[in-house]
Amino acid sequence: MIDVRRSLIQVETIYHEFGPRPAKPQQRGAILSVIANPYAGRYEPNILPMMEALNPLGVDMARRLLEAIGVAPEGIEGYGKGAIVGSAGELEHGALWHVPGGYGMREVLGWKNGKAGGNAKAIVPSTKKVGAPGARLDVPVTHINASYVRSHFDAIEVGVPGHPRADEMVVVLVMTTGPRVHERVGGLRASDIKGEDGLR
Amino acid sequence: MAADIRKLIVIVDETRKEMGREVKPATRRALAIAVIANPHAGRYSEKLDDLIEIGDELGGTLGRACVQALGIRPAQAESYGKAAIVGEAGELEHAAAILHPKLGAPLRKAVEKGAALVPSAKKMGGPGTPIDVPLGHKDAAFVRSHFDAIEARVADAPRANEIVVAVAVTDSGRPLARVGGLQKHEIKGEDGLR
């Protein structure tokens, strides 16, 4: 059921944005898979089989992205996900990516069902849209353990030239290794995370 | 003068299927992009030597980044290309200074050999401006299966005082190439053309 036609991995290393260079540059990575949309062109009431079928792709994409960024799982501090559905599909098809995308990333980043010692406790923020080939998507990023960490609110613009075609979907995972490069607007600090509810 | 690199982006684009057919092996194209400060923004400079040196530096940095991202030996690289987008306070000639005099030699070292011209494109632009980086076979410019282009784009660059410099390297031609012409196994590799 899962037919991957193309993949695109992007890793961005940010040294500065006209301010002081941080000791460690921020890295932001994205992986995009172009897959066939088996439900394109019709209304299919039961689309859940595809959600299940996407789980291995989610794990595979998370692994490949981590490898491309080149850090250990503990080096990932922010994440997000998204989907662009081709024009013969519907927005709801993009929603199929919520569970497998989040699951894949948590699996790789050391999730322990929200229990102590685990990582990736926070909800994985997401965006989705129906778009034409070449459509761009701004994928939101938040801290992996506490959604309210202000320094890690970010977004990464992604897209695949030429895709999605009408009968395709582009599914996306993103990860970052740290806060915005010159973060300085206060709020909850990563060092102050309580880590109980995935929020603070 | 070393390039003031604000950010570096590396992309690997892999095509596994085209028109419902398996592409075996999958075609893979890497793109490495540096966003750098333009030391000549806002004024006319007669000499652009520092940009020429930056080209020398980036040819190596970006060429090696592509080869590394593809996970290949340098000799396995098949095609290449280069491009630059100059922010609005600069001048098109700034792109020429980076791309043409010195960028090629270190890039060719990164991909081993490289008898053919490195095809290029340049333009002025603002943040998010895309540029199609032309691709051609590294040893024989006329290899038809390897004529291609890959789109480079950085959402937040170039700012007015910046230049986006892109190098692309592949380990393959187009997926399902079938319009004839010179084939890669027919390359003589003497003049960089055939």
Q: Is B43 exposed, middle or buried (0-12, 13-18, 19+ CB in 10 A)?
A: exposed
Is residue A195 a part of any domain in this protein? no
The overall average pLDDT reported for chain A is: 94
Please give the torsion angle defined by the CA atoms of residues B87, B92, B95 and B101, in that order, rounded to the nearest 10 degrees: -160
- pLDDT beyond 80 at A116: no
Q: Is B156 within the bounds of a domain?
A: yes
Neighbouring-strand partners of residue A32: A8, A172
CB-CB: which of B8, B14, B155 is closest to A13? B8
Number of domains in chain B: 1
What's the number of domains chain A is made of?
1
Comparing A197 with B13, which gets the higher pLDDT? Answer: B13
In a domain, residue B91? The reply is yes
Task: Classify residue A189: in a domain, yes or no.
Answer: no
DSSP string, chain A: ---EEEEEEEEEEE--SSSPPPSS-EEEEEEEEEEE-TTTTS--S--HHHHHHTHHHHHHHHHHHHHHHT--GGG--EEEEEEEE-TTS-HHHHHTTHHHHHHHHHHHHT--TT-TT----S---EEEEE--TT--EEEEEEESS-TTBGGG-EEEEE-BTTB--TTEEEEEEEEESSS-TT--S-SB-GGG---SSS--
Domain membership of residue A97 (yes or no) is yes
Q: Which residue is listed with tokens 């992007």? A: A10
Domain assignment present for residue A200? The answer is no
Predicted confidence (pLDDT) at residue A73 exceeds the cutoff of 90: yes
CB B194 within 8 A of CB B34: no
CB-closest option in A9, A14, A18 to B12: A9
* Confidence at residue B192, expressed as pLDDT on a 0 to 100 scale: 85
Q: Which residues of B touch A6 (CB under 8 A)?
A: 13-17
Inside any domain, residue B14: yes
pLDDT at A98: 94
Residue A114: pLDDT band by 50, 70, 90 thresholds?
low
Q: Which segments of B71-130 does DSSP mark as H helices, in order?
A: 92-99, 104-111
Q: Do A10 and B10 touch (CB under 8 A)?
A: yes
Q: State the pLDDT confidence band at A196, using cuts at 50, 70 and 90.
A: confident
Q: Given this model, what pLDDT does residue A74 score?
A: 95
A26: nearest CA partner in chain B: B7
**Out of A40-54, B83-97, B174-188, which region has the weakest mean confidence (pLDDT)?**
B174-188
Q: Count how many pairs of residues, chain A against chain B, have C-beta atoms within 8 Å.
A: 52
Q: Is A190 among the domain residues?
A: no
Query: What is the structure's pLDDT at B51?
Result: 97
Contact A4 B15 (CB under 8 A): no
With a cut of 90, say whether residue B155 has pLDDT above it: yes
Question: Which residues are CB-neighbours of A196 under 8 A, at least 6 positions away?
Answer: none
Closest partner CB to B9 (pick from A5, A10, A18): A10
CATH number of the domain encompassing residue B71: 3.30.1330.110
CATH number of the domain to which A87 belongs? 3.30.1330.110
Mean pLDDT of B81-94: 96
The answer as to whether B192 is a domain residue is no
Tell me the per-residue pLDDT of A19-43, one tens digit each, with 9 for 90 and over.
Answer: 999 999 999 999 999 999 999 999 9
What's the distance, CA A154 to chain centroid?
A: 12
pTM for this prediction:
0.89
Query: What is the pLDDT, as a whole number, of residue B148?
Result: 95
Q: How far is CA B101 from CA A144, B95, B110, in A?
A: 46, 11, 17
> Treating both helix axes as pointing N-terminal to C-terminal, what angle do A98-109 and A55-69 enclose, rounded to 10 degrees?
50
Q: Domain containing A88: what range?
A: 4-15+25-170
Confidence of residue A195 (pLDDT cuts 50, 70, 90): confident
pLDDT of B33-73, one tens digit each?
A: 999 999 999 999 999 999 999 999 999 999 999 999 999 99
pLDDT confidence tier of residue A111, bands split at 50, 70 and 90: confident
Residue of B nearest to A12 (CA): B9
Chain A's closest residue to B18, CA to CA, is A5
Give the model's confidence band at A159: pLDDT under 50 very low, under 70 low, under 90 confident, else very high: very high
The bridge status of strand B120-124 relative to strand B79-86 is parallel
Asked if B187 and B139 touch (Cβ cutoff 8 Å), the reply is yes
Compute the mean pLDDT over every residue in chain B, rounded to the nearest whole number.
95
Identify the pLDDT of residue A112: 81
Q: Is residue B38 part of a domain?
A: yes
Using 50, 70 and 90 to split pLDDT, how confident is the model at B180?
confident
Bridge-based pairing state of the strands A137-143 and A4-14: unpaired
- Predicted pLDDT at B33: 98
More confident residue, B20 or A174: A174
Q: What percent of chain A has pLDDT over 70?
A: 99
Domain that holds residue B164: 5-186
What is the mean pLDDT of the segment spanning B109-116? 94
| Residues B160/B88, Cβ–Cβ less than 8 Å | yes
